[in-house]
Structure 1
Amino acid sequence: MEKDALTSAPQKDDASTQEAAAQPKSDADETLAQAEAVAEREAPRGTALTWSAVLVAVATLGLLGWHWFDTRERFAGLQAEVAQRLASSDAAGGEARMLAKQGQEATATLQARLIDLEAKLAESQSQQAAIDALLQDMTRNSDARLLSEIEQALGAAVQQLQLAGNVEAALIALQGADARLASAGRPQFLPLRKVIARDMERLKALPLADVHGIGLRIESVAAAVDSLPLAFEAKPVAAPEQAAAAPTAPDSTWTGFARQLAGELWREVKSLIRIERLDRPDPALLAPSHAFFLRENLRLRLLSARLALLQRDGAAFRREVQQSQAWIERYFDLRAAPVQTAVATLKQMGTAQVDLQLPTLSDSLTVLRNLRVAKETVAPAARNKGDN
């Protein structure tokens, strides 16, 4: 722009010169003189302007050159940076493609593993279902075994009560059944535990009767029957020896000899004959060959008494004991110590109170049977549900 201003200034001076030539001739000289004066006056100013314009042009050209050079350098740097970035982007793209490929491969591997895991999961689920079914079967079987054990314990308690009359043994059996139910910890068996606890309280409330001890004493008497001496086997008690009569002088007469002979004959007859009462059937008069049957019948009496004791039949027990005592007193030698011991034992047992009303444990057995029926009813339904 400064250069255009410098070139426009001479053009304006020429135009003014031409206009002055066109004026009239008279004014030419004056005009010429003015022009020369103006030219002389404007010449230094035009030179200064020219040099200013040249300097401005040179500065402009330098500035443009520097700008061009700077722009070129920047463009080159930008181009290098773009190339570098393009190279980096190509490398990143290659790396991204490689990573994408690796990702695809990893995805394929993961999908294969996922399929494998799904198959294993399905297999494990089927195994878990089988295990659950097995556990349910085992639980049902364990419940059935537990009920069988409780039934055996209750059966043993009933046998001890009905056959042996042993309250202590029945209590032990019931306590074992209750402890087994407590260790199982099954809430469905609580009603059975309550009934068993009630039966135990009923047994504990019974008066104590040493049935076992009485039975042992009956067995001891029965075992001693073979060794008890019978009455007809007893030896007569030796009569006290009488003081020997003072020796007398033999009677030599005929009457004295006859009296002595009669006395000796009477003594011999007395030793051969024994007079006893036969108005009652005395067992001691049984023949010795009947001793075996006597002892066996007495032993049967004692066994009948023991059976009545186990059955808690007080009347039959006392009747058999009294009859056995009567037989021993009639058949056996009461002077012998074993016989006296047997009689005393039977007398003591005859006063024992054995006719107690024992509970039957029917409530416990009924609840147990109901639980068993419920288990047998539920088990097929649960098995069919598991199969479906």
Structure 2
Amino acid sequence: MNDLPTLPHSDAERGVDHAAGLAAAAPSLSAPAASAAPAPPGQVGLTVSQILQSPLKMTVIVLAILLAALAWSTQSKFQRLRLDMAKSLQKGEVANAETAATVRSVQELAKDLQAKVTLLENRQVEAQSQQLALEQLYQDLSKSRDDWALAEIEQVLSTASQQLQLAGNVQGALIALQNADRSLARSDKPQFITIRRAIAKDTDKLKALPSLDLIGVALRIDTVIAQVDTLPMLSDAKPALPAPAVKPKKFDKQGKEIAPAVAAAPTDTYFGRAQATWQAWTHEMWTEMRQLIRVRKVDHPEALMVSPEQAYFLRENLKLRLLNARLALMSRNEAAFRTDMAAAQDALTRYFDMRAAAPQSAQAMLRQAEANNVAIDMPSLADSLNAVRNYKSKP
């Protein structure tokens, strides 16, 4: 047990010490009297009675007794007070230890709570971000069917406008405009009248364009490309014979065809058979003679001196020219188209035998393809697109 603190001397303690001093002094005061006049043994009772009869002495004795009792009572109370104070201090120390343990547990609990609060805050932030994403998704999904239809129409018209400007796909643009107008017609809402009016205006512009059969022209060019390897050239060893001349038919006044005169059949005589044999032999000889010597008029003599290797490259160059013309046709480049077509026809006329039927047919197809007007100013679908975008931008 810890030492108890010493209490300062109070007034009561000082009074007790004073009373004890007086009690100790009282016998010393009466001692001289007794020593001064020693009483005989037979006079003791008289002395006590005398003492009792003296009021001052009686008062001092009573006061000394009272002071002694008071001192004893005060000492007892003080001892009990010290014991109580010691118990109180022990209880205080125990309470302080328990308080310290409680404080440590509270601090640990506070740390755990802080960690949990931080985790909850992080989860709350994640929940808020997820909530914002869900709200955005809900707003996207909550769009009306008209908004989705307008967005789809805008995308279709934008694609059709690009194809119209780049590839001249008029039919595709018309189909896109018709589908957009059909979608708006199903909605049957008066606010779409402005958009439908713009679509109708663009449709009329496309329908007013001159017709151009790109597919037909491309097919003619492809046909000539496929025939280039079989076309006879002027430098070939055996040029193709010219096409036989067809005699014109004769008609009478009534419009009936006049049959050609039939030569009379030879007689069965020996002279007739000999004459027929001679004519057949001379005709065969004359035909062979004609094959030996052939006179032709060639505008470009260098075409007759083309070697087989050069002929191969000439044919390939002609194919490349025609392929370039086809690409220029699809891209609506009229200058490149006409340049390549003119070069292809010039090569065909310069190096190929134009008396044969195949080169003549190829040249005719190229002339038909070149006669088409490739350069056509294509209108844009800006009116329809602007009408759709203006409607979407309205609050």
Taking structure 2 as the reference length, the TM-score comes to 0.45
Taking structure 1 as the reference length, the TM-score comes to 0.46
